[in-house]
Chain A
């Protein structure tokens, strides 16, 4: 902290020190200090670094080739497709296009075997790095749990420029009873690598968001992959038992009130 005047009173200093002691109660950027009306130089640069990480995550491209290779090594069937959004700029402006497959993508999925219980789509969303960091660890835990419930699973559809609702077209085309969409969430300043999981029963094009259940903040410093996998399978099991997802499933399980903040896609 840069000060214009020397401290005049030990008690006054103590106030700022005590305030800094409250940092343990919140991740908020409190007790930053100031120089005039500005922030200290390093504090300002730290903020810019966090914003730069978030911006780079939004604009990074998903490396479908490398991800597909790793998935095939784990014996997953993999299809790589694109949404109808041509590039990131269009994706950001036209969420409707990110919710629909490109014609080529649709053809590729129509050529697949139909009728598994659970289809999985992994989409870049707003953070490709979230998918690259979290997808494999999550699937490594998720696959055995789903199989142990006697559910048939597959394939993995990798989606570039995809939104949550693109899972509806994918799940419907594959004839799946439920689709799990794993998608990069909108980066915040504190985390740019957060993955979300959205479960939709009987996916159909035009399904409302209120008919989905969501697990958020899946990342190494947040909800760990093994814990996320257990929560996803718990919801999937409930969905199959009650033949529903979304608000109705929340009511059935007596869940806490839905967060006021909508999906961060």
Chain B
């Protein structure tokens, strides 16, 4: 099936659906690297125009990645909820955009629609939406999850505290952790990226995080972001695992590159649920994604990187995760070249995730070889806060000393709270005032109470590396 549009007498033809989607994608280096991007600005608009005319239900008849060869495609089509799709099944992609923006389309309608949408539908409509559209619609979505704290309530912005250390030194991790708590960071999760993927280190890191959390009685959850197979082993050893983490991508082949499959994720999900460690909810999975991961694994099947990214959210929602975030600027300039491309991708990923019913967050970040700086991160944080992002990630002074890239600083979270008026998770907010880190209205005190983290500092001083 080919697609056409005519602009000023010139007829533009797109051979198939994946070509149409790729050419309709707002410009980014990764699609150019893959050789599938539009060759001119006019060709891009022509593709967007043809895409706007496409009936939404077309996506139910075309498998972009062959159904028989790809378990992600099978998951997407087999779990599609036709009755949920009914309210928009008669619309074109362009009319769907207008339906989403319509003030009469309510939050509850969007929630009910989510299982009726495929990732490709969400990706398609995002390609003809401006940043403002992506923000406005995402802000109407509501995805609430819970473990020891509740994530995604209206007006809230939660945070992952990321206390990484180059050699996983326990005292170094704990020092960054306490620093973050003093800024009111960590209500989504306290999560460490380990430097090595050994079972021994995994167990040591989750035990350390659990010790500190219990010592301070923080209503949050902890996570070691090792491989899912390591997490399963650790659970079998009796380690205190709150959330199981895994990086995921939009095709079976790309996930094979991560050493995972849907069945391994299901096994991990069951194992984590069996521990029953959550107090206010049972969402036990944490996933990270990012545009370009399928292409970098040569597992993109000629499909644009933003559509491949959205397909990963179909995997995520299958396992009712507590948290999902795109690590948007981490992958490097060959996929997202500069601050503008990173910001656009961050808004797209957040929009598509929320539309599909995923508790979407974002690691607002960049590497030193990207054309980006902290100003770009401030911009993206502000935009995502307006869009109602579930959570963002923060590290001491914006500098991740293990992964060698820049994320948000703890200070940036204070900015989002004070200037943009976003509050943290209610359970965590109560804890902050109870221990003397914040006042009764949730505003951080200039001077923390001595009892708040003093015992934990003393604990670190006597800890082994």
A: residues with CB less than 8 A from B are: 3-5, 7-9, 11-16, 18-19, 21-23, 25-32, 34, 36-39, 43, 47, 50-51, 54-55, 58, 92-96, 126, 186-190, 256-261, 264
Contact check, A28 vs B33: say whether CB atoms are below 8 A apart.
no
Point out the residues of chain A lying under 8 angstroms from B417, CB to CB: 37
CA–CA, A256 to B398, complex, Å? 30
Point out the residues of chain B lying under 8 angstroms from A19, CB to CB: 175, 178-179, 182, 453, 457
Contact check, A22 vs B460: say whether CB atoms are below 8 A apart.
yes
Contact check, B165 vs A28: say whether CB atoms are below 8 A apart.
yes
Q: Which of B175, B183, B450, B454 contacts A25 (CB 8 A)?
A: B175
Contact check, A257 vs B334: say whether CB atoms are below 8 A apart.
no
Q: Report 21 cross-chain contacts, Cβ distance below 8 Å, ordered by A residue.
A: A3-B446, A3-B447, A11-B450, A11-B454, A15-B450, A15-B452, A16-B447, A19-B175, A22-B174, A25-B169, A25-B172, A28-B163, A30-B397, A36-B418, A37-B419, A51-B374, A58-B369, A93-B334, A256-B198, A259-B195, A261-B402
Chain A, residue nearest B169 (CB): A25
Provided the pairs A22-B171, A26-B175, A37-B415 are in contact, do residues A54 and B368 lie with their beta carbons within 8 angstroms?
A: yes
CA–CA, A21 to B398, complex, Å? 20
Contact check, B171 vs A5: say whether CB atoms are below 8 A apart.
no
Contact check, A39 vs B446: say whether CB atoms are below 8 A apart.
no
Q: Which of A30, A51, A258, A264 contacts B176 (CB 8 A)?
A: A30
Contact check, A5 vs B446: say whether CB atoms are below 8 A apart.
yes
Q: Which of A11, A15, A188, A256 contacts B368 (CB 8 A)?
A: A188
Chain A, residue nearest B402 (CB): A261
Interface stretch of the complex, out of B91-99, B345-353, B384-392, B403-411: B403-411
Chain B, residue nearest A59 (CB): B369
Provided the pairs A15-B454, A19-B179, A22-B460 are in contact, do residues A37 and B414 lie with their beta carbons within 8 angstroms?
A: yes
Could you say which of A47, A50, A55, A188 has the most chain B C-beta atoms within 10 Å of its C-beta?
A: A188
Point out the residues of chain A lying under 8 angstroms from B447, CB to CB: 3, 5, 7-9, 12-13, 16
Could you say which of B169, B226, B450 has the most chain A C-beta atoms within 10 Å of its C-beta?
A: B450
CA–CA, A258 to B175, complex, Å? 26
CA–CA, A16 to B448, complex, Å? 8
Could you say which of A50, A51, A126, A257 has the most chain B C-beta atoms within 10 Å of its C-beta?
A: A257
Provided the pairs A30-B176, A93-B32 are in contact, do residues A58 and B411 lie with their beta carbons within 8 angstroms?
A: no
CA–CA, A30 to B198, complex, Å? 27
Q: Does B14 contact A (CB under 8 A)?
A: no
Point out the residues of chain B lying under 8 angstroms from A26, CB to CB: 165, 169, 171-173, 175-176, 401
CA–CA, A123 to B8, complex, Å? 49
Chain B, residue nearest A58 (CB): B369
Point out the residues of chain B lying under 8 angstroms from A58, CB to CB: 368-369
Chain A, residue nearest B166 (CB): A27
CA–CA, A92 to B33, complex, Å? 11
A-B contacts, CB under 8 A, total: 171
Chain A, residue nearest B198 (CB): A257
Q: Does B196 contact A (CB under 8 A)?
A: yes
Point out the residues of chain B lying under 8 angstroms from A47, CB to CB: 374, 397-399
Q: Does B449 contact A (CB under 8 A)?
A: yes
Point out the residues of chain A lying under 8 angstroms from B461, CB to CB: 21
CA–CA, A26 to B406, complex, Å? 17
Contact check, B165 vs A260: say whether CB atoms are below 8 A apart.
no
Chain A, residue nearest B451 (CB): A11
Of all A-B residue pairs in the complex, the 6 with the closest CB atoms, nearest first, are A29-B397, A26-B172, A11-B450, A37-B414, A188-B404, A22-B175
Q: Which of B29, B369, B399, B454 contacts A28 (CB 8 A)?
A: B399
Contact check, A186 vs B415: say whether CB atoms are below 8 A apart.
no
Q: Does B116 contact A (CB under 8 A)?
A: no
Query: Interface digits, B440-465 against A, CB 8 Å rule (1 contact, 0 not)?
Result: 00000011111011100100110000
Contact check, A92 vs B334: say whether CB atoms are below 8 A apart.
yes
CA–CA, A109 to B334, complex, Å? 28
Provided the pairs A19-B178, A19-B179, A27-B401 are in contact, do residues A12 and B172 lie with their beta carbons within 8 angstroms?
A: no
Interface residues in B178-207 (C-beta closer than 8 Å to A): 178-179, 182-183, 193-198
Return A214 CB to nearest CB of chain B, in Å.
Answer: 14
Provided the pairs A11-B450, A27-B401 are in contact, do residues A18 and B406 lie with their beta carbons within 8 angstroms?
A: no
Contact check, A22 vs B33: say whether CB atoms are below 8 A apart.
no
CA–CA, A3 to B447, complex, Å? 9
Contact check, A28 vs B401: say whether CB atoms are below 8 A apart.
yes
CA–CA, A6 to B416, complex, Å? 25
Query: Interface digits, B90-108 against A, CB 8 Å rule (1 contact, 0 not)?
Result: 0000000000000000000
Q: Does B395 contact A (CB under 8 A)?
A: yes
Chain B, residue nearest A46 (CB): B397
Return B354 CB to nearest CB of chain A, in Å.
Answer: 26
Known: A36-B414, A93-B29. 12 other contacts (CB 8 A): A4-B446, A19-B182, A19-B457, A23-B175, A26-B171, A30-B176, A39-B397, A47-B398, A47-B399, A187-B369, A259-B196, A260-B195
CA–CA, A8 to B404, complex, Å? 38
Return B329 CB to nearest CB of chain A, in Å.
Answer: 13
Contact check, A187 vs B368: say whether CB atoms are below 8 A apart.
yes
Q: Which of A18, A25, A260 contacts B197 (CB 8 A)?
A: A260
Contact check, B406 vs A189: say whether CB atoms are below 8 A apart.
yes
Q: Does B373 contact A (CB under 8 A)?
A: yes
Could you say which of B175, B396, B453, B460 has the most chain A C-beta atoms within 10 Å of its C-beta?
A: B175
Point out the residues of chain A lying under 8 angstroms from B179, CB to CB: 19, 22, 28, 30-31
